[in-house]
């Protein structure tokens, strides 16, 4: 198993799904040098590639026979709060406002940056088992979150949870400047917690930052009917209309959840090139509603998928989310044709990468980052192989994830982790933190 930098890995005898438009699954090879993919093609094309690059003798550190299993781009979990692993199965079966005010905020007040570092790593283990190679994160201590992702070698795009009670616009700017130039694994986009936790003054200051850096802007947005109605009562506008009127979306961005949107909201979303990050598991468990995914697709508004945090889901599993996106859309529309599997898989990979600003992590293609997963097709839930894309979305599960490679390094393979720390150590740490905070 790979442990250092500068590795050269050849995957051969693989079924390959590049996720490029119009390209079907084919049998071939993927070659990785350091953090990048240098070749994707058939075995024969590989031979021509070598002839073309005369003198470039391919010497591999590792050659992996994929046994005709599937290589594809890793999943992008486009909304999560990783360190909420602490509250997993401790804050359930409550309405969102009670959940937040009685079970989440008081516990968060006791969490330290170091707690968040270790608790984020528990989530990272879970992401790896689900074939997730990058996450769009929002939590309380961005620096220790960034440390956790860097130390485990996982890609993390953060936004802030600035609100009236924690963090500040000054800190938001500091995070933006520092976390975008820190290391290869971390980046940062401007954002806030949500309209209902931010004053208008705070939003106006954020708009100044958006214009100063010509940057996209993100927030929890129109997740519940209550939140949306209350904003309309306060300002005579929905959160989307309010943000747009303040110039917060002048450089794009998007929102998490977006369950309760009107035609007018969707017009603004289309005009401002906003992304939707849908979180169906969380929306179901907190009884927030079913997002109008078909309406977004009709308006050409790109949709990505997130798990949300482990306190509101409670698992960090992209397979479950993918099934829910299409299953719920079908029921909402009362039409089994709604949101087909290919569309869902695009949301979980390509659209997630675009939303997060990770344009070099979307496809398996020459020059792209080597964020690659291998799915086991030799399991009963994947047989027979009539249609691989449909199998992944409708019958696939994390038990099919054989390998997760990020930035050219295999971080998870055949049930074993390679993140520089023994999972048992992390589980003990989480128990310790749990006892200190809850007992």
Residues binding Zn ion (CB under 5 A): 308
Query: Which residues are bridge partners to 275 per DSSP?
Result: 254
Nearer to Zn ion, 308 or 321 (CB): 308
Report the nearest approach of Zn ion to the CB of residue 193 (Å): 9
Nearer to Zn ion, 293 or 374 (CB): 293
Report the nearest approach of Zn ion to the CB of residue 259 (Å): 12
Buried b (16+ CB within 10 A) or exposed e, 10-40: bbbebbbbbbeeeeebeebbbbbbebebbbb
Q: Which residue is nearest to Zn ion (CB)?
A: 308
Report the nearest approach of Zn ion to the CB of residue 99 (Å): 12
- From residue 194, alpha-carbon distances to 22, 132, 401 in Å are 38, 25, 34
CA distance linking residue 159 with residue 400, whole number of Å: 31
Nearer to Zn ion, 195 or 308 (CB): 308
Report the nearest approach of Zn ion to the CB of residue 111 (Å): 16
Report the nearest approach of Zn ion to the CB of residue 10 (Å): 39
Vertex 429, ends 424 and 434: CA angle to 5°?
A: 125
Nearer to Zn ion, 165 or 427 (CB): 165
CA atoms 9, 11, 17, 22: torsion sign: positive
The single residue listed with the structure tokens 């005010």 is 101
- Collapsing DSSP states into helix, strand and coil, what is residue 278? strand
Nearer to Zn ion, 279 or 391 (CB): 279
Nearer to Zn ion, 308 or 407 (CB): 308
How, if at all, do strands 253-257 and 409-413 pair? Answer: unpaired
Report the nearest approach of Zn ion to the CB of residue 116 (Å): 15
Nearer to Zn ion, 69 or 282 (CB): 282
Nearer to Zn ion, 17 or 84 (CB): 84
- Collapsing DSSP states into helix, strand and coil, what is residue 295? helix
Buried b (16+ CB within 10 A) or exposed e, 41-53: beeeebeebeeee
Report the nearest approach of Zn ion to the CB of residue 320 (Å): 17
What the block records as the tokens of 384 is 């027979």
Report the nearest approach of Zn ion to the CB of residue 256 (Å): 5
Nearer to Zn ion, 28 or 239 (CB): 239
DSSP 6-71: S-EEEEEEEEE----TTPPPEEEEEEEETTEEEEEE-HHHHHHHHHHTTT-----SEEEE-TT-EE
Non-local (6+) Cβ contacts of 37 within 8 A are 30, 31, 364, 365, 366, 367, 368, 369, 370, 372
Alpha helices in 180-262 (DSSP H): 200-213, 225-235, 239-245
Report the nearest approach of Zn ion to the CB of residue 359 (Å): 24
What the block records as the tokens of 49 is 């590639």
Task: Look at residues 175, 158, 179 and name the one whose alpha carbon lies nearest to residue 167.
Answer: 175
Report the nearest approach of Zn ion to the CB of residue 424 (Å): 29
Assess contact for 210 and 190: CB atoms under 8 A: yes
Nearer to Zn ion, 40 or 194 (CB): 194
């Amino acid at each position: 198993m790979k442990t250092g930098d500068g590795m050269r890995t050849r995957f051969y005898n693989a079924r390959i799904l590049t996720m490029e438009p119009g390209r079907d699954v084919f049998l071939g090879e993927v070659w990785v040098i350091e953090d990048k993919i240098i070749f994707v093609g058939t075995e024969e094309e590989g031979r021509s590639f070598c002839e073309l690059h005369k003198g470039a003798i391919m010497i591999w550190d590792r050659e992996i026979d994929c046994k005709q299993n599937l290589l594809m781009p890793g999943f992008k979990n486009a909304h999560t709060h990783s360190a909420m692993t602490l509250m997993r199965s401790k804050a359930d079966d409550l309405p969102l406002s009670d959940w937040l005010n009685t079970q989440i905020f008081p516990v968060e007040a006791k969490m330290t940056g170091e707690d968040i570092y270790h608790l984020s790593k528990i989530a990272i283990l879970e992401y790896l088992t689900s074939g997730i190679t990058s996450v769009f994160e929002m939590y309380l201590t961005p620096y220790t979150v960034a440390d956790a992702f860097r130390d485990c070698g996982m890609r993390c795009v953060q936004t802030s949870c600035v609100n009236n009670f924690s963090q500040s616009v000054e800190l938001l700017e500091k995070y933006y400047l520092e976390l975008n130039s820190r290391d290869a694994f971390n980046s940062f986009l401007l954002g806030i917690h949500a309209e209902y936790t931010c004053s208008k003054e705070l939003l106006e200051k954020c708009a100044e930052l958006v214009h100063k850096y010509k940057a996209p802007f993100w927030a929890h947005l129109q997740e519940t009917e209550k939140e949306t109605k209350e904003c309309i009562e306060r300002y005579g506008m929905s959160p989307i209309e309010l943000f747009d009127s303040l110039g917060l979306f002048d450089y794009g961005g998007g929102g998490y959840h977006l369950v309760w949107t009107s035609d007018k909201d969707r017009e603004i979303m289309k005009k401002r090139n906003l992304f939707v990050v849908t979180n169906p598991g969380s929306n179901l468990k907190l009884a927030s509603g079913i997002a109008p995914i078909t309406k977004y697709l009709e308006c050409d508004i790109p949709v990505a998928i997130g798990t949300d945090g482990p306190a509101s889901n409670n698992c960090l599993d992209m397979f479950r989310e993918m099934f829910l996106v299409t299953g719920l859309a079908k029921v909402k529309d009362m039409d089994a044709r709604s949101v087909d599997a290919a569309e869902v898989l695009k949301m979980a990979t390509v659209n997630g990468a675009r939303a997060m600003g990770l344009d070099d992590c979307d496809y398996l293609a020459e020059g792209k980052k080597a964020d690659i997963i291998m799915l086991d097709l030799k399991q009963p839930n994947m047989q027979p192989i009539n249609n691989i894309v449909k199998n992944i979305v409708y019958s696939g599960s994390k038990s099919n994830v054989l390998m997760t490679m990020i930035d050219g390094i295999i971080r998870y393979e055949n049930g074993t982790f390679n993140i520089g720390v023994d999972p048992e150590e992390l589980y003990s740490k989480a128990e310790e933190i749990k006892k200190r905070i809850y007992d």
